[in-house]
Structure 1
């Protein structure tokens, strides 16, 4: 059992709270029973399971298990009331191929919003999520928690969105952009296409102008009350389910 927060292993786990170390190691942390169960059910590789001393989880584990005391677990944990289980997970490299339904995320910076977008894309039956360079890290602990395990069930890619859009359009995918009303079509008037990609943008600024110009069509959701706009994850949910119908 590990009992010292100064143990080299514990120090490495704590480094995974920072993006640069997640990128460098190709690993990240998930915490909580539900997320650990979800990653174990998936094809992602779990390198190690951390369990707080005294906890008894009904899990059949083939992975390496390390028991740690409460002080160590609290040092690694980023939740206020830790459940006492976490896992070190290796990032999965997916091979990108344009698909029927793709969500592209431009510069979304709130971890909760990004996690909800991934979760909703999974629920709506989308094939891929592509996250642009200006967005929050999808392997941020708050983002991972907000996905509620969907991160492990829908392929997620990162990179330059213009390059991804070029690939999509080259294979006959219609690219839609969620935008304000100017030069945009109400979403209920959209023509349905077999292969569609939807771009959603930053919480305050929307989609970058240069990326917006790549879209085949702009789409908006009418606002009937006094609200200035919809939360990006809510708007994306409405549009994704409409496109899936």
Structure 2
């Protein structure tokens, strides 16, 4: 049975539906500080993190036991929860085989001025355009214990729906700094004595022959063009991954994963501490 506390939405003019539809645009995500999350597992994770603002449930799916459990969790946490008519819900869906669950989540807010740059691993992403690649890099960064991610200007929006799905809720487990300009990036690196290692084929050492600094940053670039020339000039050391077969390069998310774990192999145990800061997460 449908909970009497839940509002039923059947009009495209409903204010919550309009709000959700607007979040398909990057400029609206930036303006409202929110983004869309689709799928039962992802929405559950976000709800448990305390950053889910709205839960939308497809009418034909609302009686399933796992979805009823999510609805109960949302109501308990005071999350605005709605049952949405199927044709209307379909306009919001971004996946082919939808589970009938969409959430509106609050974007995590991080300020560089509040960041404490302890020893450890950081990663910067320069111009990656595929949201699936970006999401995979961020998910791997969390697994590798990276302390923060820097998205340089020109990189795809991390709150793109495909990217959000690829991260598997990792967006709320690591500080991510968006639209970082080259001047700001340079200041961060130099003022905090971070050694930068850029993936490149020119003047580079094999990535497994480098002695990495206790405070290291890996920089990866665009799928087709690599890291921009401006960033290359700033980097301390070029690194390359050997190709043992007849192929020119690796997918950027695979290359990033190999490099992150190679650095982590060298870091001392005290660099394994979970990231803590004064950031407003």
2:262 and 2:55 map into 1 onto residues whose CA distance is 40
1:222 and 1:39 map into 2 onto residues whose CA distance is 39
CA offsets 1:87-130 (integer angstroms, 9 cap, x no match): 11121212332342111000000010100110111111101111
Map 1:177-188 onto structure 2 (within 5 A).
177-180=198-201, 182-188=202-208
Secondary structure of 2:219's aligned partner:
strand
Kindly report the root-mean-square deviation, in angstroms, between the aligned alpha carbons of the 2 structures: 1.4
CA contact (8 A) 1:129 1:157 kept: yes
In terms of Rg, which structure is larger? 2
Aligned residue for 2:196? 175
Map 1:19-168 onto structure 2 (within 5 A).
19-43=26-50, 45-53=51-59, 54-55=61-62, 56=64, 57=67, 58-59=69-70, 60-61=73-74, 62=77, 63-96=79-112, 97=115, 98-99=117-118, 100-158=120-178, 159-168=180-189
> Which moved further from structure 2: 188-197 or 96-105?
96-105
CA contact (8 A) 1:27 1:91 kept: yes
CA contact (8 A) 1:130 1:161 kept: no
How far the C-alpha of 1:11 sits from its partner, in A, is 2.1
Count, aligned residues = 243
TM-score, normalised with respect to structure 1 = 0.95
- Structure 1 or 2: more helix by fraction: 2
Provide structure 2 residue ranges, at least 5 long, that are not aligned to the other structure: 1-7, 266-281
Q: Say whether residues 1:13 and 2:20 are aligned partners.
A: yes
1:103 and 1:172 map into 2 onto residues whose CA distance is 14
Q: Say whether residues 1:208 and 2:215 are aligned partners.
A: no
1:223 and 1:48 map into 2 onto residues whose CA distance is 47
How far the C-alpha of 1:162 sits from its partner, in A, is 4.2
CA offsets 1:10-60 (integer angstroms, 9 cap, x no match): 1221111111111121111001011112212325x2211111124242231
